[in-house]
Structure 1
Amino acid sequence: MVGFTALLAAVSAQAAPPKTALVPRPATPAISVQTLKDVTKTLSSDAYEGRKPVTPAEQKTTDYIVQRFKAAGLKPGNHGSWFQPVPLVEMTAQDVSPMTITGGKTPLSLAYRDDVVVKSYRVTPTIAVKDSPVVFVGYGIVAPERGWNDYAGVDVKGKTVIILVNDPDWQSPERIGLFEGKAMTYYGRWTYKYEEAARQGAAAAIIVHDTEPAAYGWGVVQSSNTGPQLELDEKGDHADQSDAIGWMQLGKAKEVFASAGQDFDALSAAAKVKGFTAVPLGVTASVSFTNTIKRQASKNVIGILPGKTKPNEYVFYTAHWDHLGHCTPVKGDGICNGALDNASGTAGLVALAEANVKAGPGKRSIVFMAVTCEECGLLGSRYYAEHPVYPMATTVGGVNMDGLNTVGRAKDFVVTGAGKSELEDMMAKLVAGQGRVVKPEPNPERGSYFRSDHFMFAKLGVPMFYGESGEDLRVGGAAAGHAATLDYIENRYHKPQDEYNPAWDWSGALEDLQLYYGLGRSLADGAMWPNWYKTAEFRAVRDRDHPAARTKQ
């Protein structure tokens, strides 16, 4: 979902250095450039049709990964099988009515796609929200550890909640504030807002789209929330979710508030202040649509290098194998090959498997997992985290890869979502050993930490490292690195032009992979149980599930 340019973050100056055990520095492995080239070139060839899940290309893709895992010397990672089935359900909203707002000064009819987008996680053929009282719940956050509850004193069961995007201090120029300033926390992510609204019993949850705090335009909202939508196919058909979820254009939200006799800007400002009380608007909302439902399944691919002395403790490496498949043609090319995103990360997974097997087993087991459906909402990693082959409570931590550096060695290194876990301190020592420096993430407000597969482990308390080369290249400096970033974003990201290039410079990828190897091997050969910093959203789960981690300060 996010390529190498999205991995620009920094170690937070606010985080106190934790009391961790000394980190052994593993010998630098021989990582095969030829493996990186071969796997990337193969998986991103037209023969693999863009590697879209639940298409004929999936079997070819997963069989190839198994072939490479076997050749590397791994064992099947799911009780004798290389695969973990991931059940999916595809839903397509049809016959979507306008969203009507009644009971105010002026009745409003908001057009589907242009004014609002709506869909549902509930696997049911018919969705109907009728005359549902509308409540403005500010940022829709319940964060007891920060003393914040936007739902305090209000019952929203069966009601429609309108929610602001991002979190309350997103306009802070620094990373200082109750919600870490301009750096988005998970409370600011749209997925959290829908989850919390469902927990509160809301019939519908509508987020107000504003380009700056969302970090993307209405066109992205439109394309991502219309058409076929994949979700995990689970018992209960997601009946615990809201009937309808969606987004509303900022201008239309202001019209709704005006019809209710309220000032949108004034209430939005009030919602930034601790102690904000939700505001019933005195109007009702209605919307309806039908769902076409198709049940199917995809696969995660899992290999393992069993540990010598602690085989029931696990260190993970992850990368997603999927991409977009056939897509909108550009100059006659209609296959989104996904060479960088993420054939290259999958190649890194294979290369790290080879290096670890050559080095011999660690004390702990090392798991290599190529996950499905990252591009459709992190569904493969989410399914694994919620249905783990190996218990999350005995999973030590690990590294996720989503696009390798193919533009040359960099002087700097960045950590996406920095200031969260002790893995960052371990990695900082390894980075220094390469004569490189850690630099700040230029756009932490985009919430990149929550947009790749490590996040699903994090939600359940397991620290997974996510970071990569920065833009300050050893040849060409920051100007060359930034130009490469822009070129990728503008010309290749999620387009048919993300294709294998034999002229790529893999030297930067090799340096990063040596860091990933070093971090994973330190965990596999050590005894530490890295934890989250005290202020991290995921600390409580780790403390609950692993006593050794809980003793850390």
Structure 2
Amino acid sequence: MADAPQSAAQTPAADSPAPAIDVERLREMTQTLSSDEFEGRAPATRGEELTVAYLAEQLEASGVQPGNGDSWFQNVPLVEITADPETAALSYTHRGAETPLAYGSDMVIWTKRVVPEVDVENAELVFVGYGVNAPERGWNDYEGVDMDGRIAVILVNDPDFHAGGEDGLFDGQAMTYYGRWTYKYEEAARQGAAGAIIIHDTAPAAYGWSVVESSWTGPQLDMDAADNHMGRIPVEGWVTNEAARAMFAAGGLDYEVLTAAAREPGFRAVPMNLTASAHLENSIRRQESRNVVGILPGSTRPDEYVLYTAHWDHLGHCTPAPDGDDICNGALDNATGTAGLVALAEAHAEAGPAERSIVFLAVTAEESGLLGSAYYAENPIYPLAQTAGGINMDGLNIVGRARNVVVVGYGKSELEEYLARAAQAQGRTVEPESAPERGSFFRSDHFSLARPGVPMLYAESGENLVNGGAAAGRAASEDYIENRYHGPQDEYDPNWNWDGALQDLELYYAIGRTLAESAEWPNWYEDAEFRAARDASRATAE
């Protein structure tokens, strides 16, 4: 078992403040990474070649060493499956009357099976509520129904979403992993379903239909596998809320009544009195992408590690904006975080080696399902049991300094005690995220490392801005989500205010440096779902 960490009051502070971060270099890196020349940084494209070469160059210039032997790269085997949009089809039938759904505007479907063609014909549609099987919570939406050959129709998020507050079988409004779309496809596969279609709804999904359309059309990446992912369900997808309501009505079902019933314990799956057929024709391409990794070796305990992560990838070419721009540049998401990773490498290198080694990991294919970080977690360059903890960055604050720091997944990790001390030194408060129902904890790369037990911190500026207060911060956040997130409009703006980014990078530096100079092994809190994995991992290092 790991030693218990010191409290925040006892945690040793870093010996010196962070070396000054060069904001002009931060701007320059962000502008370069999000330029049209880099084509949206999609994995396994020319954009990747430019990106990883640039990051290796920048890390070398920062003063750290290659992080994988004498290489800056960790190869990540991927398979790309692209559904032909002209032939992709999904329709439902009631009493002989077939209703086709339009690809893109009504539905988006795909398969993760590495096969050239998929056909599902006349499969019964079954509404399975939230698609949750959680015996420890006394909940099973699949109880009493055989899903073999059937298609599950599933609500997004989890049953407590509409309840609000913190109480409930699924932790109140805060999304659990049962609410995450990845879980719903995984569980449908375990149930033997022929397909799983999630009903989109903007509030519980936390993004509009345009994000579904841009993110799940075009080439879809997954880690390559010897079994060609034949354990996945044949057809996965989304339908719009409007299309779903029409489906329910066609089957003589009341959408409002059934979706309300799905929130209550004891809900049972409901046949929809419809059959559905789906067709996909795929092109398949196997390739390797790359994580980029640098290291500042430790001075006295180089075989213990502190980790910084940020994803370098974005969506590449995507659904065009009204002006015809089809490059999703990903300036905020996540050129800023990637530039911040290099800036932190430079700051730590300038300060000199800490007692522990510090690793800087820029991962691929986050936008395709956290693939690069998942690959690192399954094939770590540095032992996870010897990794004291990590900090993840997924978008820096470019709207100004904030009075608060928000923890995504608040109350899970003892790293929050390190955060509290560093934030107090900046005169900032630490708070839970304002919208835990969005499931942000499961949507960035810290989650891949948390699952095998590594304590990971994902904290960022809150909305209470020094200039303009919470109203200004909230308006900026809503504007980004509604108008730029995962779209061509997420572009570099020379008018961005970098004061908040510098404030956060100084915070991340202080936490990482403190942990790297410490002999402590922070853990997850006792009731966190990752505690058992960490205890087992650390036991192997004793």
Would you say same fold, with TM above 0.5? yes
> In structure 2, what is the Cα distance between the partners aligned to 1:270 and 1:337?
42
Farther off after superposition, 312-321 or 358-367: 358-367
Assess, with a 3 A threshold, how the Cα gap between structure 1 residues 272 and 282 changes in structure 2: closer, same or farther: same
Residue 516 of structure 2 is aligned to residue 541 of structure 1 = no
Residue 188 of structure 2 is aligned to residue 204 of structure 1 = no
1:506 maps to 498
Give 2:163's match in structure 1, choosing from 167, 172, 182.
172
Residue 237 of structure 2 is aligned to residue 246 of structure 1 = yes
> In structure 2, what is the Cα distance between the partners aligned to 1:252 and 1:325?
28
> In structure 2, what is the Cα distance between the partners aligned to 1:161 and 1:370?
36
1:63 maps to 53
TM-score scaled by structure 2?
A: 0.88
1:10 maps to none
Q: CA deviation at 1:53?
A: 2.5
Q: CA deviation at 1:32?
A: 1.9
TM-score scaled by structure 1?
A: 0.87
2:296 maps to 305
1:445 maps to 437
Q: Which residue identity lines up with residue 77 of structure 1 in the other structure?
A: G
Q: CA deviation at 1:259?
A: 5.7
Assess, with a 3 A threshold, how the Cα gap between structure 1 residues 523 and 473 changes in structure 2: closer, same or farther: same
Matches within 5 A, 1:59-138: 59-94=49-84, 95-101=87-93, 107-113=97-103, 114-138=105-129
Aligned with 2:123: secondary structure?
A: strand
> In structure 1, what is the Cα distance between the partners aligned to 2:470 and 2:406?
14
1:9 maps to none
Residue 43 of structure 2 is aligned to residue 53 of structure 1 = yes
Identity of aligned residues (%): 58
Residue 390 of structure 2 is aligned to residue 401 of structure 1 = no
2:507 maps to 515
2:358 maps to 366
1:348 maps to 340
2:367 maps to 375
> In structure 2, what is the Cα distance between the partners aligned to 1:329 and 1:253?
26
Retained in 1: the 8 A contact 2:26–2:343? yes
Farther off after superposition, 57-66 or 92-101: 92-101
Assess, with a 3 A threshold, how the Cα gap between structure 1 residues 115 and 44 changes in structure 2: closer, same or farther: closer
2:13 maps to 25
Q: CA deviation at 1:417?
A: 2.7
Q: 1:500-543 CA deviation, whole Å, 9 max, x = no partner?
A: 44444333222211211122223222233333334444344334
1:294 maps to 285
Q: Which residue identity lines up with residue 310 of structure 1 in the other structure?
A: R
Give 2:213's match in structure 1, choosing from 217, 222, 247.
222
Q: CA deviation at 1:275?
A: 3.7
Farther off after superposition, 524-533 or 322-331: 322-331
1:274 maps to 265
Give 2:469's match in structure 1, choosing from 469, 477, 497.
477
Retained in 2: the 8 A contact 1:31–1:352? no
Aligned with 2:78: secondary structure?
A: strand
Aligned with 2:89: secondary structure?
A: coil
Q: CA deviation at 1:391?
A: 3.2
> In structure 2, what is the Cα distance between the partners aligned to 1:448 and 1:119?
24
Retained in 2: the 8 A contact 1:35–1:350? no
Farther off after superposition, 253-262 or 162-171: 253-262
Q: CA deviation at 1:125?
A: 0.7
Give 1:431's match in structure 2, choosing from 423, 440, 446.
423
Q: 1:101-142 CA deviation, whole Å, 9 max, x = no partner?
A: 45xx67543424244332111010111223434433321223
Q: Which has the higher contact order (CA 8 A, sep 6+)?
A: 1
Q: Which residue identity lines up with residue 410 of structure 1 in the other structure?
A: A
Residue 445 of structure 2 is aligned to residue 458 of structure 1 = no
1:13 maps to none
Farther off after superposition, 470-479 or 349-358: 470-479
> In structure 2, what is the Cα distance between the partners aligned to 1:256 and 1:503?
47
Assess, with a 3 A threshold, how the Cα gap between structure 1 residues 152 and 391 changes in structure 2: closer, same or farther: farther
1:189 maps to 180
Assess, with a 3 A threshold, how the Cα gap between structure 1 residues 52 and 180 changes in structure 2: closer, same or farther: same
Retained in 2: the 8 A contact 1:319–1:369? yes
1:285 maps to 276
> In structure 2, what is the Cα distance between the partners aligned to 1:289 and 1:230?
16
> In structure 1, what is the Cα distance between the partners aligned to 2:365 and 2:63?
26
Assess, with a 3 A threshold, how the Cα gap between structure 1 residues 396 and 263 changes in structure 2: closer, same or farther: same
Q: CA deviation at 1:207?
A: 1.5
> In structure 2, what is the Cα distance between the partners aligned to 1:208 and 1:479?
31
Assess, with a 3 A threshold, how the Cα gap between structure 1 residues 218 and 509 changes in structure 2: closer, same or farther: closer
Task: Provide structure 1 residue ranges, at least 5 long, that are not aligned to the other structure.
Answer: 1-17
> In structure 2, what is the Cα distance between the partners aligned to 1:451 and 1:237?
24
> In structure 2, what is the Cα distance between the partners aligned to 1:117 and 1:71?
43
Retained in 2: the 8 A contact 1:412–1:437? yes
Q: CA deviation at 1:331?
A: 5.2
Q: Which residue identity lines up with residue 355 of structure 2 in the other structure?
A: K
Retained in 2: the 8 A contact 1:423–1:530? yes
> In structure 2, what is the Cα distance between the partners aligned to 1:154 and 1:499?
48
Farther off after superposition, 299-308 or 528-537: 528-537
Q: CA deviation at 1:453?
A: 1.8
> In structure 1, what is the Cα distance between the partners aligned to 2:425 and 2:226?
49
Assess, with a 3 A threshold, how the Cα gap between structure 1 residues 367 and 433 changes in structure 2: closer, same or farther: same
Q: Which residue identity lines up with residue 76 of structure 1 in the other structure?
A: P
Retained in 1: the 8 A contact 2:5–2:520? no
Q: CA deviation at 1:290?
A: 1.6
Aligned with 1:98: secondary structure?
A: strand
Assess, with a 3 A threshold, how the Cα gap between structure 1 residues 409 and 56 changes in structure 2: closer, same or farther: same
Residue 404 of structure 2 is aligned to residue 412 of structure 1 = yes
Q: CA deviation at 1:439?
A: 3.6
Residue 147 of structure 2 is aligned to residue 156 of structure 1 = yes
Retained in 1: the 8 A contact 2:137–2:169? yes
Q: CA deviation at 1:200?
A: 2.4
